[in-house]
Structure 1
Amino acid sequence: MTSLPPFPRLTGSADVSVRPARPADAAAIARVQGTTWRTAYRAVLPAAVLDDWDADGVTASWAAAIAAPPTPRYRVLVALERDEVVGFAAVAPVEDDPAAAELGPLLVEPRWGRRGHGSRLLAAVADHASADGVVELQAWLLETDRVSADFFESAGWAADGWARTLETGDEPLREVRWHAALEQEDEGR
């Protein structure tokens, strides 16, 4: 298993930062998700998912998840450029393994890509997870998504051999699980 060093506490400049999401961020999170899915995943997601996108429904779901998280260790974080939400990540505990957490979506709107927002979000997720006592992070990536796989690999993650198939009503989607170990900081440091 790949082991990552402890992540430093995040500091952000006035121009870029990561912070916990607020209910008022829900519409921006839904916008980032919809735009990213339409741009980066149009070829793999079922057309009905994208064509029938319910921005109000997705916004309401994110607002509820932020305002009343399903578990105390569930987190939604947003990446900001100036005051604009340009990306987000969600992380939740793994149900049958209290030492692990699963990274849900980590998305940066394509027009804001290649500016370090994804790396800052991933570092913030690891920082929060580590503070919660998590020692392993997991994420499911589409098997055909080389861009995300390259990103996670460059951050020290590796595929762990697990795969699953999602039935979508169209072509099934195959996902591969990636993981990274988090080193715990010594209390004396």
Structure 2
Amino acid sequence: MADADVRSARSGDVDELARIHRDTWRTAYTDLLPDDVLVALDATPTLSLAVESGQLLVATEGRWLVGYCLAGGATEADTADVSGTPHEDAATTAIVTVLVEPRWGRRGHGSRLLDTAARQLVEAGATRGIAWIPESDRATRNFFERHEWTPDGTVRTLDAGGRPVREIRVSRGLTPLSDA
């Protein structure tokens, strides 16, 4: 494998990361999301804000950007239980999203992203991480479960262009993978 690394995202990375997001979602979620939702995907504003706030990491292989991890403080709504009550550690809970372009998958990029994010989040005072995953996305669920992120019983249903999408929440106490 060529040199693989994880670094903080730069503003010049946003267009390529938005393409990775769009192309990966259009491949992975073609049966889950309506065509008009997939066609309209544009993660550029979210990724730009994440770069500005320092919450976006990128995985590289050689000169290529191959994926990203968006990690930062979770909202109370994201940490809430089924009754809507925020979890007792809501203030120190981080939400994490990891995405690696499929052609670069199974090469350790996702694990490096998750480990680096966990280290940074712990240094910033986070104690727990959560991630929301479409229930039917077995690949992403398997990835998180391999790293001991487990479903905590919380689900939500989102409206994706008139089509309900059920998501599960996985969580784990935050320690870097290499320390676990």
Q: TM-score, normalised by structure 2?
A: 0.84
Alignment partner of 1:63 is 2:61? no
* 1:26 aligned partner, one-letter code: V
- CA deviations on 1:115-138 (whole Å, 9 max, x unpaired) are 111111111111111111111000
Give the CA deviation at 1:52: 2.8
Count of matched residue positions in the alignment of Structure 1 and Structure 2: 163
Q: Which of 79, 82, 94 lines up with 1:101 in the alignment?
A: 94
Alignment partner of 1:80 is 2:60? yes
Give the CA deviation at 1:183: 4.3
- CA deviations on 1:67-125 (whole Å, 9 max, x unpaired) are 2x2xxxx610000001211000101202332211011x311111111111111111111
Q: Which residue of the partner structure matches residue 71 of structure 2?
A: 91
Contact 2:9 2:57 in 1 (8 A): yes
Contact 2:11 2:48 in 1 (8 A): yes
Q: Which residue of the partner structure matches residue 172 of structure 1?
A: 164
Alignment partner of 1:41 is 2:29? yes
- Determine the C-alpha separation between the residues in 1 that align with 2:41 and 2:152: 32
**Larger RCO: Structure 1 or Structure 2 (Cα < 8 Å, ≥ 6 residues apart)?**
1
Q: Which residue of the partner structure matches residue 6 of structure 1?
A: none
Stretches of structure 2 lacking an aligned partner (at least 5 in a row): 77-89
Q: Give the structure with the higher percent helix.
A: 2
- Determine the C-alpha separation between the residues in 2 that align with 1:14 and 1:36: 22
Contact 1:88 1:108 in 2 (8 A): yes
Contact 1:23 1:64 in 2 (8 A): no
Q: Which of 1, 14, 37 lines up with 1:26 in the alignment?
A: 14
- Determine the C-alpha separation between the residues in 1 that align with 2:95 and 2:9: 18
Q: Which residue of the partner structure matches residue 135 of structure 2?
A: 143
Paired residue secondary structure (2:172): strand
Q: Which of 113, 116, 120 lines up with 2:108 in the alignment?
A: 116
Distance change >3 Å, CA 99–CA 24, structure 1 → 2: same
Paired residue secondary structure (1:30): helix
- Determine the C-alpha separation between the residues in 2 that align with 1:34 and 1:51: 8
* 1:38 aligned partner, one-letter code: R
Q: Which of 147, 153, 159 lines up with 1:161 in the alignment?
A: 153
Cα RMSD between the aligned structures? Answer: 1.8
Runs of 4+ with deviation above 6 angstroms: none
Stretches of structure 1 lacking an aligned partner (at least 5 in a row): 1-12, 185-189
* 2:116 aligned partner, one-letter code: A
Distance change >3 Å, CA 53–CA 182, structure 1 → 2: closer
Contact 2:151 2:171 in 1 (8 A): yes
